[in-house]
Amino acid sequence: MKSKLDDRIRYLQIAFNYDMGLVRRILPSIQESRRILIEAGTPYIKREGMDGVRLIRRYWGGHVIADMKLVDGALGEVDMARSAGATAMTVLGNSPTETLDLFIKRCDSLGMVSMIDMLGVKDPLDVMMRLRKPPDVIVLHRGRDEEGTRGKLIQYRHINRVHSKFNVLISAAGGVDIKEARSAIFNGANIVVANLVHPSDPWTGISTESDVAAMARDFLNTIE
């Protein structure tokens, strides 16, 4: 059976989006905690493949999320992620309903946490209402390319709407710093996703040149 995420706990998800060298340099410094989830980000997986997921599993004993943003072929890709050591995985909410249902069922059978990423979805509740069974987590996601657009915000207004119908955890992602993490928790999110970002990149997150372990502690204290 999978280790269920607890809706009474506020989690920090740290996303690695570059290469295995960064994982080797930073991940061993982060103190293991049940409140920290480690993500193999989409660009990282595209660059490093399942070997990148295996490397994160080698360094991290807790939850490892494969942010594969599955859109089709649910059975094979979930199996692939699980074999590499992932305990959670993402699928895009815009995927066919058949894919979403297969994804959730397969994750459940393999003891994985199922996450639907609502990037680009106007109404997450509409997606949820079509499913045979809800996922474990839905991700309210402001995309990387949307961060610089004035007025593009993480849509916290959907949290109460979803919770009125479904007992799922809510994750907030996209340009999350300490201030945004505080806002996410205030609005009812259970998980905040902070990307590791190079200082020269235009995105918001935790700088790869900072003391990441100390920043993780600051996030945990902020969202507790």
Average pLDDT over residues 120-144: 93
pLDDT at residue 4, as a whole number: 82
pLDDT at residue 148, as a whole number: 66
Condensed to tens digits (0 to 9), the pLDDT of residues 45-85 reads: 999 999 999 999 999 999 999 999 999 999 999 999 999 99
List all residues 6 or more positions away from 66 whose beta carbon is below 8 Å from its beta carbon: 40, 45, 53, 81, 84, 86, 88, 89, 90
Condensed to tens digits (0 to 9), the pLDDT of residues 163-204 reads: 999 999 999 998 899 999 999 999 999 999 999 999 999 888
Q: Which among 90, 93, 100 has a CA at the least distance from the CA of 39?
A: 90
pTM: 0.95
Question: What confidence category does residue 122 fall into, taking pLDDT thresholds of 50, 70 and 90?
Answer: very high
Domains of the chain in start order, with CATH, are 11-223 (3.20.20.70)
Distance CA 182, CA 163 (A): 20
Q: Beta strands of 71-142 (E only): which ranges?
A: 88-92, 113-117, 137-141
**If you average pLDDT over every residue of the chain, what do you get?**
94
Q: Beta strands of 56-105 (E only): which ranges?
A: 64-70, 88-92
Residue in the structure block whose two tokens are 């660009």: 43
Distance CA 24, CA 60 (A): 11
Whether residue 1 is predicted with pLDDT greater than 60 in this model: the reply is: no
